[in-house]
Amino acid sequence: MMAFSNNVGIEGIRIGQVTDTHHHTGCTVVMVENGAVAGVDVRGGAPGTHGTDALRPENLVERVHAVVLTGGSAFGLATVQGVMQYLRQRDCGFQTEHGVVPIVSGAVVYDLGLNKSGTLPDADMGYQACENSSTEGAEQGCVGAGTGATVGKRFGLGRAMKGGQGFASLTSTGGLRVWALAVVNAYVDVRNHENGELLAGVRTEDGRQLANVAASLPELEVLTGFTGTNTVLGVVATNAKFSKTELTRVAQMAQAGIARAVVPAHSLYDGDTIYALSTGTHTGVEVTVVGALAAQLMGQAIVHGILHAVGVDGLPSHRDLFGK
């Protein structure tokens, strides 16, 4: 049996957010001060990342001390410096002859369409997200890296909808824990992967309904609009004891959660990236089982990000259109 909840519930991991509602941007940090074995899978054709090569299975570093998900496009990677400063002050990082070097990886979403002020996520925001981190679970909706997230930009923001940040977790009766965190900034449509319901995406010309653009893909030859600006970011974590190579497989399998909920997924225009972390000692679990659970939870987290989003600046949310 599995029990679902919203708690982080994995020893050594905290999640922190900074939400700048005035400028429609923010960042989310998954903190692991003592380090977590990590893998990553970058599936989109337009990624914006920091430190992902270090997590490749053949490379030296086994552990990360934080993963940063941020708005601001490539400018938002400045948040990584604030996270590194926070960790260095606490002597957390990869030990070298001349001190610690915190291993921090990160990925971005493009939210500049809503944030026209020029005020972007920076090192101070990254530092503050670390200070805000807790084990209570991730906030959901238009918070953290999901503050300025949007979906359904096939015809520009005029027919788009609000995206956001979502979280889902489970604990088995045997003590296995897995959770998923998603930032939903997708190019076209988002569905409930469990029942096929279209939740958000491109709106009809009158703005009152969903256009179901994904269903018309066979008639389209060219996709235009917001090229390279659309992404789903994710972090999955478990207390199962896995190697870096095994966690890379978990991250790869978790990408199925994006493919089930987002249409199209992993396109030339997306930066879809998923990290997988483990701090635990729970043994005897098959990596394929955790990968399958991670995919299920990633799909749920994406749905939660849409359902918890709120409309802003004339851009409606799922709640605004459907009242639920």
CATH, residue 308: 3.60.70.12
Confidence band of 223 (pLDDT split at 50, 70, 90): low
At 56, give phi and psi (nearest 5°): -60, 145
Q: What pLDDT score was predicted for residue 1? A: 43
Report the run of H or E that residue 85 belongs to, with start and end.
helix 79-89
Q: Round to whole Å and give the CA distance between 84 and 50.
A: 12
- Shortest CA distance to 72 belongs to which of 108, 123, 28? 108
- Count of domains observed in the chain: 1
pLDDT in tens, 252-262: 999 999 999 99
| Bridge partners of residue 312, in order along the sequence | 315
- Residue carrying the six token digits 């993963």: 67
Q: What is the CA radius of gyration of the chain?
A: 18
- 187 DSSP 8-state letter: S
15-24, 66-75, 186-195, 290-299, range with the lowest pLDDT: 186-195
Cα gap 230→179, rounded to integer Å: 23
- Average pLDDT of the chain is 92
Q: pLDDT band at 138, cuts 50/70/90?
A: confident
| Residue 7's pLDDT band (cuts 50, 70, 90) | low
What is the band of 2 on the pLDDT scale with cuts at 50, 70, 90? very low
Question: Is residue 309's pLDDT more than 90?
Answer: yes
Q: How far apart are CA 245 and CA 258, in angstroms?
A: 21
Measured CA distances, 324 to 65, 277, 304, 318, 320 (Å): 38, 33, 12, 7, 8
Question: Is pLDDT at 229 greater than 80 in this prediction?
Answer: no
Q: Name which of 215-219, 240-244, 245-249 the model is least confident about.
A: 215-219
DSSP 249-288: HHHHHHHHHHHHHEES-S-TTB--EEEEEEEEEE-S--HH
Residue 190 token pair = 């988002």
pLDDT of residue 281: 86
Q: Compare 29 and 137 and report the one with higher pLDDT.
A: 29
Please tell me the least confidently modeled range out of 36-40, 124-128, 185-189, 271-275: 185-189
- In contact, 161 and 201? CB cutoff 8 Å: yes
Positions of E strands within the chain: 2-5, 14-20, 25-42, 49-50, 63-70, 94-96, 99-101, 104-108, 150-151, 161-162, 164-172, 177-185, 189-191, 198-200, 231-240, 262-263, 273-282
Q: Do strands 25-42 and 273-282 pair parallel, antiparallel, or not at all (unpaired)?
A: antiparallel
Task: State whether the Cα torsion 241-285-239-248 is positive or negative.
Answer: positive
Domain with 259, as residue range(s), is 2-322
Q: 298 near 258, Cβ under 8 Å?
A: yes
Terminal Cα-to-Cα distance of the chain (whole angstroms):
29
Distance CA 92, CA 163 (A): 34
User: What mean pLDDT do residues 274-289 have?
Assistant: 95
**Mean pLDDT lowest among 36-45, 76-85, 221-230, 236-245:** 221-230
Q: What is the pLDDT of residue 217?
A: 66
Q: How confident is the model at residue 115 (pLDDT cuts 50, 70, 90)?
A: confident
- If pLDDT is split at 50, 70 and 90, which confidence band does 221 have? low
Tokens of 32: 């692991």
pLDDT of residue 214 exceeding 90: no
At 6 the pLDDT is: 59
The string of pLDDT tens digits covering residues 156-168 is 899 999 999 999 9
More confident residue, 166 or 10: 166
Q: Take residue 122 and report the two structure tokens written for it.
A: 């920076």
Residue type, 200: A
Decide if 163 contacts 184 (C-beta within 8 A).
Answer: yes
Q: What is the 3-state secondary structure (H, E, C) of 117-128?
A: CCCCCCHHHHHH
Sheet of 198-200, strand order: 198-200, 189-191, 262-263
Q: Are 33 and 11 in contact (CB under 8 A)?
A: no
Query: What pLDDT score does 8 carry?
Result: 73
